[in-house]
């Protein structure tokens, strides 16, 4: 049989509904106070490094090329037309190898004129020598005659003096003999002085004529070298480079004809970023990567000015070159600029400049999460950077690019 039941109380139902709504409000408020969930990041895609203390080697790196250490630049000494080219790059040549021949009728004519002027000057020198030598010999004869006359008159004067003492001649005859001897003596001295002056004049005239010959000989030698230079030779053992000439082409004086490089002696020309080149000095050690081997070297020259944001640095290669090393080969060079003792350092992050403050993600002790911390950086090297403040020895930080998580201060690693 049916048992009558009382209808549900409206008051009790309202209490239950109110309690449910209150619970929803409390839960919503609690959730609103929670921060955003840490995004997950795949650990395998990250580069993580540990902060260390010790010696940090500061290095700078730059690309470059291998170039010959010694290059002979051969330019046109005179203008001319290319008649024939015998060898072309990259032929190996010796010092006396004939590379090409040129011609210029004007240069040949100037050489002939210079030779003619030199021959005329040499002929004039020979004629002058003959004339001056004849004059000198004639003067020597005059001096000899004057000397003989003087000696004869002197003896006659002596005899006259003795006869005068015995009263055998008159005093006037003795005086005449004495005067004649004095005149002969004066004539002898004058002629002797004239011979001396003539001898000195001969030397000066011959010296001036010889200077003229020397000048004309220098001109003739120069003109001859101009003619010889049109037969262009290598001038050094090596390999021909940079010769872009064609037969029949006319070249002006000073035009670069070709380069001769010594392939066995190579150096590296590096391009170092200008913001890193300030610390580079001569004789600093350098490692040059030739792709098939690393060769040690040292800095020998630093360019004084920057070009396109880089500074040129020459590196002499101290070790033997690996097989396949040749001019224009692309290389990478790493220069050691400083060794820092007892400093805190870590792997260089993908972002952040030296002497700046950046945010890095530091791993929690359990390694499951990473939180952002501000780190003050110091001096930098190629792969490491000094830590001035914000990290301690043993801390692990993410040094790969985390720019996509800039809006988060915490990430989860999985």
Query: Average pLDDT per run of 10 along the chain, which is 414 residues long?
Result: 53 61 61 64 90 93 89 90 92 91 94 93 90 85 86 84 79 82 85 84 87 94 93 88 89 91 83 89 93 92 90 92 83 93 92 87 91 92 91 93 88 88
- What was the pLDDT predicted at 4? 56
Q: Is the CB of residue 291 less than 8 Å from the CB of residue 269?
A: no
pLDDT of residue 25: 60
Buried b (16+ CB within 10 A) or exposed e, 70-101: ebbebebbbbbebeebebeeeeebeeebebbb
What pLDDT score was predicted for residue 11? Answer: 56
Q: 383's torsion region: left (phi>0), alpha (psi -120 to 50) or beta? A: alpha
Within 10 angstroms of residue 190's Cβ, the number of other Cβ atoms is 13
- Please state, in angstroms and rounded to a whole number, the distance separating the CA atoms of residues 244 and 257: 8
Q: What per-residue confidence (pLDDT) applies to 285?
A: 94
Q: Compute the C-alpha angle 305/307/309, nearest 5°.
A: 105
Q: In what order do the strands lie in the sheet with 71-75?
A: 71-75, 256-261, 238-241, 92-93
* The pLDDT of residue 34: 47
pLDDT of residue 391: 93
Q: Which two tokens stand for residue 68?
A: 């010959």
What's the pTM value of the predicted model, to 2 decimals? 0.55
**Model pLDDT, residue 3:** 56
What is the Cα 271 distance to its own chain's centre?
A: 14
DSSP secondary structure string, 197-239?
HHHHHHHHHHHHHHHHHHHHHHHHHHHHHHHHHTEEE--SSEE
Residue 43, burial from CB neighbour count under 10 angstroms (0-12, 13-18, 19+): middle
pLDDT confidence of residue 219? 94
Cis before 267? omega within 30? no
What is the reported pLDDT for 18? 64
């Amino acid at each position: 049989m049916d048992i009558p039941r009382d209808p549900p109380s409206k008051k009790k139902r309202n209490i239950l509904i109110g309690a449910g709504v209150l619970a929803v409000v409390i839960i919503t408020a609690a959730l609103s106070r929670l921060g955003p969930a840490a995004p997950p990041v795949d650990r395998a895609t990250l580069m993580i490094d540990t902060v260390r203390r010790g010696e940090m080697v500061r290095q700078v790196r730059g690309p470059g090329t291998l170039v010959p250490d010694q290059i002979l630049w051969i330019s046109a000494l005179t203008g001319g037309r290319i008649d024939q080219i015998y060898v072309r790059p990259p032929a190996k040549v010796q010092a006396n190898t004939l590379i090409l021949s040129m011609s210029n009728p004007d240069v040949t004519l100037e050489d002939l004129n210079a030779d003619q002027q030199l021959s005329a000057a040499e002929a004039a020198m020979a004629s002058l020598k003959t004339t001056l030598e004849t004059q000198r010999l004639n003067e020597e004869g005059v001096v000899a005659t004057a000397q003989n006359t003087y000696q004869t008159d002197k003896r006659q004067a002596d005899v006259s003096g003795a006869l005068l003492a015995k009263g055998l001649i008159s005093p006037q005859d003795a005086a005449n003999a004495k005067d004649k001897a004095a005149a002969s003596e004066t004539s002898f001295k004058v002629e002797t002085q004239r011979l001396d002056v003539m001898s000195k004049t001969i030397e000066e005239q011959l010296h001036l004529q010889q200077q003229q010959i020397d000048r004309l000989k220098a001109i003739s030698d120069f003109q001859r070298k101009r003619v010889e230079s049109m037969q262009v030779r290598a001038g050094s053992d090596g390999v021909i480079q940079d010769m872009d000439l064609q037969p029949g082409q006319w070249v002006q004086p000073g035009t670069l004809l070709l380069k001769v490089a010594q392939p066995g002696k190579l150096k590296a020309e590096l391009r170092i970023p200008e913001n890193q080149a300030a610390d580079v000095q001569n004789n600093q050690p350098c490692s040059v990567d030739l792709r098939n081997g690393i060769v040690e070297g040292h800095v020998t020259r630093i360019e004084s000015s920057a070009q396109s944001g880089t500074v040129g640095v020459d590196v002499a290669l101290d070790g033997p070159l690996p097989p396949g090393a040749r001019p224009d080969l692309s290389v990478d060079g790493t220069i050691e600029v400083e060794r820092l003792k007892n400093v805190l350092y870590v792997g260089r992050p993908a972002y952040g400049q030296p002497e700046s403050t950046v945010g890095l993600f530091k791993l929690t002790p359990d390694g499951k999460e990473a939180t952002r911390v501000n780190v003050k950086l110091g001096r930098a090297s190629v792969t490491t950077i000094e830590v001035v403040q914000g990290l301690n020895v043993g801390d692990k930080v993410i040094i790969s690019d985390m720019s996509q998580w800039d809006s988060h201060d915490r990430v989860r690693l999985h």
